Amino acid sequence: MSKPIKTKVSITAQGTCLMRAISYYEKDPCYKSEDFIASAILPSFLTTTAKYNFSRAILKKAFFKVPGIYEYVISRTHFIDGIFKDELSGIEQVLILGAGFDSRAIRFEKELKNSKVFEIDAAPTQQAKRITFAERNIDFPKNLKFVSLDLIQETLLDKLEEAGFEKNRKCLFLLEGLTYYLPQDTIVSMFNFISNYAAKGSQLIFDYAFASTLNQESNSANTKKHYQTLVKAGEKPGFVLEGEIKDFLEKYSFEVMEELDSVKLAKKYFNTDDFQPAAQQFKLVRAVK
């Protein structure tokens, strides 16, 4: 999370929200998301454009220039939504790190009625979200608490405890589209916090980038374009994983439940064997303590 995010709304948060909003109007069930909140906060001209197949295709081509990134974000949304819909039994606290314009606290209010929900993000992005939702008369549930935090400059512990986050509770930790924008030391600090505060049975969901993502010499032209776009936006990729995910998680007392690469995501959500290049740079993980 580099310097521009401290003073500007995160471009990746906006981009993810836009993808979910556009996918809400898709006719193909493989592409269609159920994020009606994202669609509700679109500017009216984008809503009109997103509703029709021809203009929606133009919109996607204009905004999502890196092949495969749209499919990856949609499949990631499907995967996480499924967990919120069907598998929150016994979860006492939900911590969404780098929440952006996430709407799950609203969309899954019934499923989360017995949980405390905490959203962590940089102040400008969080403020933009609260203002945008208020302008659309979208109310936040009472069990949702916002915590403004610079994940690089500040520690989670003090602000979360002040907000009412408790130790040794069964938690769901969600780091969606986040780890690859943070430096190594921030990742270590964050995962140590999660390990220390999570009770047995807590779950952790995150995606990560391969080491090759930052190896510009070996990357495809499309991956380089994606990288350069993020650098210009002030969100240069940082943490990447080298080695096995099980070894990484073992250090924090978590074990892998599911790990989905681009092939598994493509088969699970798009009835195909492969995604385009951008999706091949990431893996999506669900782990349990």
Quote the number of domains for the chain. Answer: 1
DSSP 1: -
Contact 14, 130 (CB under 8 A): no
- CATH code: domain of residue 130: 3.40.50.150
Place of tokens 């080491």: 211
What's the CA angle centered on 177, arms 174 and 179, to 5 degrees? 80
pLDDT at 106 over 80: yes
Cβ burial of 159 (10 Å; 0-12, 13-18, 19+) is middle
1 or 142: which leads in pLDDT = 142
- The residue range of the domain holding 77 is 4-288
Mean pLDDT of the chain: 88
In this structure, of 24-38, 159-173, 239-253, the range with the lowest mean pLDDT score is: 239-253
The model carries a pTM of 0.90
CA-CA distance, 190 to 194, in Å (whole number)?
6
How far is C-alpha 237 from the geometric centre of its chain's CA atoms? Answer: 15
Average pLDDT over residues 212-234: 53
CA-CA distance, 240 to 209, in Å (whole number)?
5
CA-CA distance, 169 to 190, in Å (whole number)?
17
